[in-house]
Structure 1
Amino acid sequence: MICKRSSVIFCGAFLFITWNAILVLLLWGRPPSGQEQKEAERPSIDIVDGVLRIVDSIEAELEVQKKTLLQIQNHQSLWEPSDRNGPKAAPTRPPVIPILVIACNRVTVKRCLDKLLQHRPSEELHPIIVSQDCGHAETAEVIRSYGNNITHLKQPDLSDIQVRPEHKKFKGYYKISRHYHWALNQVFKTLSHSSVVVVEDDLEVAPDFFEYFRALLPFLKSDPSLWCASAWNDNGRDGYVDPGKADLLYRTDFFPGLGWMLLREVWEELEPKWPDAFWDDWMRQPEQRRNRACIRPEISRTLTFGRQGVSLGQFFDKYLRYIKLNTEFVPFTKLDLSYLKEEMYRENFEKEVYNAPVVRYEDVKQGQLKGPGPFRLQYSSKDSFKMMAKNLGIMDDLKSGVPRAGYRGVVSFISRGRRIYLAPPPGWTQYDLSWS
């Protein structure tokens, strides 16, 4: 736009100078007096024709100048504020959402970074920050090999952590919590970002991973009943999700992790009381959650490939290795996601769950349900929930009374091609903290 403006103004100035030069030449060309003046008073036909040609040329030039000035005026209305309509708003700058990769001693971080770089739509809008703990030289070399495509941070405190004797085997969890605390401070306080998506070095991301989080950022900013968005479905194993619902999103009371977004405001709330260990279970406590929900997808946008770690492969062989990673690109930023707003979502979700016919556990287990569904499978105690969840193949553990992927006590999954809601009785009000 600036180039066009300069060109138009230059042309206008050039024509103005040219016109004035013609006038000067005409004036200079007039005879002064005497014989020449008498001859000028008896113009020949050739001279008259010449004058007429000059006049025509001047009129044509004036018309061109008029059009040029109108063009300048029209362009100027775009460049400058209009008094009638008020000043024109500056174009909105797209938000920058950095990706924080938590790394330690896995050289397989390369698989994580390769996928992030493959699917990243913009280096400027999604800078990748790799924060490395442990001081592992081989892993550091892999990270350095990406050059300017990423930012490589090194956690400076590699000292041992003193823990009570019964927690000696959990020392790795203490180091992870210390690393998270330092890395998130770097993102929000040192680098001054306003949001971040956290992934670990053993995660592979889906093609629409970035699109997913860009669409959900406005919801986190505008809805105080939300405090995170996650790319993960704890019960997202192949066969337990609807492959035709890649665009379906849920609210959940369970903090999923494994590729999650938080805002600087939430970090400012959590940072002063950040725990020494087991940070993810700490996030699931009611004191931190404060009745807020996260957004999670029907089909996961992350896949974990790291069996070995501080958890020693807990859940990996039975559940995590079978998680279905989405392969279909969903244009979330162009979809209407207003159904996720709290009041509307709760009303519609509870209506669908509690209008669904109640079925017996045996019929679900044996695949004897008739009709397309959805169906409601009701539990009434911690033991009945854990028994049915375990035998139907979904995760049966609870954290502070909240089931994985649960919303208001309800867990949604697919069983033999039909939607099942494993739900408490109608009238549910709160989680029982003893169910843990």
Structure 2
Amino acid sequence: MDIAKDFFSYFTWGKQVLLADSTVWCVSAWNDNGLPNLVNKDTAEKVWRTDFFPGLGWMLTRNLWKELSPKFPKVYWDDWMRTKEVRNGRSCLRPEISRTSHNMKVAGKGSSGGLYKAFLSNIAVSSTAVDFTLLPYENMLKESYDEQLQQTLMDTMFSTTREWFNLAQKVGIMVDIRGGMQRTAYYGVVAVMYKNCRLFLVPTELDLNILETYHYDEKRDLQLRYLEFAKTYCNAKMYTGVCDPESPDMVAWFKKKRWLKRLQAYGKMMLSILTIICIFLM
């Protein structure tokens, strides 16, 4: 892992939020959607709240470690952190531009099996050093942050997993959903730069007057898994029958191809249903 020049300044500043706001359980230096075309290079000081645990350079309190350490898993602990039971409604801070980068030469592919190499290898640390210690932190506290978010999003919206999947691919952001959450989401809202505009992807289920009523539906993990499966195997060059991974015909097709382990690797899936209206801000 490589770090930016203002890495420690960022965490010194973030510590204030971590200690002042019980709804924040970590400060992360990583933006999952931090590709150059998805961030605003002119706002290197910008920080966001996210419900999706980012990892890759993060800070937590001693008390939180006491809570997590007795049951902290040896592998896939990042996905464990993203589960509803462990997250317990808490959020993290993450920067507009990453303050860490994945050193592919040292760390290699990791557990992703190279799946996200196109993303990881192109997310670079910020080249602009910000003295975060000179910036106020109060605007990141939940009440203030949520009020700003509500004002920004009043005229926007989005809804099905299928539409999320299609839109995320079009915009070029990571499509995966864990614990019902998209990467970098806060109350289901994902914010990125797209064609030099700030783009907010907002779930239609979000009540902009009462943000706390929004909940992440973990069934979306299963719906997204089905969409990825369908994209790979249900097309003119592969399987042309009804795209149902549990149907005898499709299972027989996988057996004939000697790909049954591939089918089994997907695990449980669910036919997908998520609608997306978005807002562009200059």
Which amino acid in the other structure matches residue 430 of structure 1? H
Structure with greater helix percent: 1
Instruction: Tell me the secondary structure at the aligned position of residue 110 of structure 2.
Output: coil
Q: Deviations over 1:151-208 (max 9, x none)?
A: xxxxxxxxxxxxxxxxxxxxxxxxxxxxxxxxxxxxxxxxxxxxxxxxxxxx110000
Question: Which residue is equivalent to 1:246?
Answer: 44
The structure-2 alpha-carbon separation of the partners of 1:283 and 1:300, relative to structure 1 and needing over 3 Å to count, comes to same
Aligned counterpart, 2:114: 313
Q: Say which of 378, 381, 387 aligns to 2:160.
A: 381
The CA deviation string for residues 28-65 of structure 1, in whole angstroms up to 9 with x for no partner, is xxxxxxxxxxxxxxxxxxxxxxxxxxxxxxxxxxxxxx
- Assess if the C-alpha contact under 8 Å between 2:25 and 2:90 holds in 1: yes
Residue 215, structure 1, aligned to residue 13, structure 2 = yes
SS in structure 1 of the partner of residue 59 of structure 2: strand
Contact kept, 8 Å, 2:25 with 2:60, in 1: the verdict is yes
In structure 2, give the amino acid aligned to 1:297.
Answer: P
Aligned-partner Cα distance in 2 for 1:409–1:337: 23
Distance 1:278 1:391 in 2: 29
CA–CA distance in structure 2, aligned partners of residues 309 and 396 of structure 1: 19
Counterpart of 2:229? none
| Matching residue of 2:61 | 263
Q: Higher Cα Rg: structure 1 or 2?
A: 1
Moved over 4 A (4+): none
Per the TM alignment, residue 311 of structure 1 is displaced from its structure 2 partner at its CA by: 2.8
Q: Please give the residue correspondences for 1:313-392 in structure 2 after superposition, counting only pairs within 5 Å.
A: 313-316=114-117, 318-355=118-155, 376=156, 378-392=157-171
In 2, the alpha carbon distance for the partners of 1:385 and 1:354 equals: 20
Give distance in 2, aligned partners of 1:304 and 1:340.
26
Q: Deviations over 1:336-386 (max 9, x none)?
A: 12110101101111210223xxxxxxxxxxxxxxxxxxxx5x421111111
The CA distance in 1 between the partners of 2:142 and 2:111, in whole Å, is: 36
CA distance in 2, matches of 1:429, 1:205: 34
Partner of 2:4: 206
Aligned to 2:246: none
Q: 221-230 or 319-328: which moved more?
A: 319-328
Query: Over aligned residue pairs, what C-alpha RMSD do you find?
Result: 1.3
Listed as ranges, the gaps of 5+ residues in structure 1 are 1-202, 356-375
Match of 1:200 in 2: none
Distance in 2 (alpha carbons) for counterparts of 1:221 and 1:390: 37
C-alpha distance in 1, partners of 2:112/2:124? Answer: 21
1:314, CA displacement in angstroms?
A: 2.3
Shift of 1:215: 0.8
Q: For the residues of structure 1 that align with 2:200 and 2:28, how far apart are their CA atoms? A: 21
Q: 2: distance between equivalents of 1:218 and 1:391?
A: 37
Q: Secondary structure at the match of 2:220?
A: coil
Q: Is 1:417–2:217 an aligned residue pair?
A: no
Secondary structure at the residue paired with 1:232? coil
Paired residue secondary structure (1:239): helix
Cα distance in 2 between the residues matched to 1:352 and 1:435? 26
Q: Judge which range, 234-243 or 218-227, deviates more.
A: 218-227
Give 1:380's aligned amino acid.
S
Q: Which residue of 1 aligns with 2:216?
A: 431
Instruction: Tell me the TM-score normalised to structure 1 length.
Output: 0.47
What CA distance in whole angstroms lies between the structure 2 residues aligned with 1:304 and 1:413? Answer: 20
Partner of 1:270, secondary structure, is helix
- Provide the C-alpha distance between the structure 1 equivalents of 2:154 and 2:165, rounded to a whole number of angstroms: 21
- For residue 129 of structure 2, give the secondary structure of its aligned residue in structure 1: coil
CA distance in 2, matches of 1:276, 1:240: 33
Unpaired runs of 5+ residues, structure 2, are 208-212, 222-282
The normalised TM-score by structure 2 is 0.73
Q: Point out which structure has higher relative CO (alpha carbons under 8 A, 6+ apart).
A: 2
**Could you tell me how far 1:276 is from its partner in structure 2?**
4.2
What corresponds to 2:89 in structure 1? Answer: 291
Q: Quick one: which of 69, 78, 88 aligns to 1:280?
A: 78
For 2:190 and 2:116, the matched residues in 1 are separated by 18
- Indicate the SS of the match to 1:348: helix
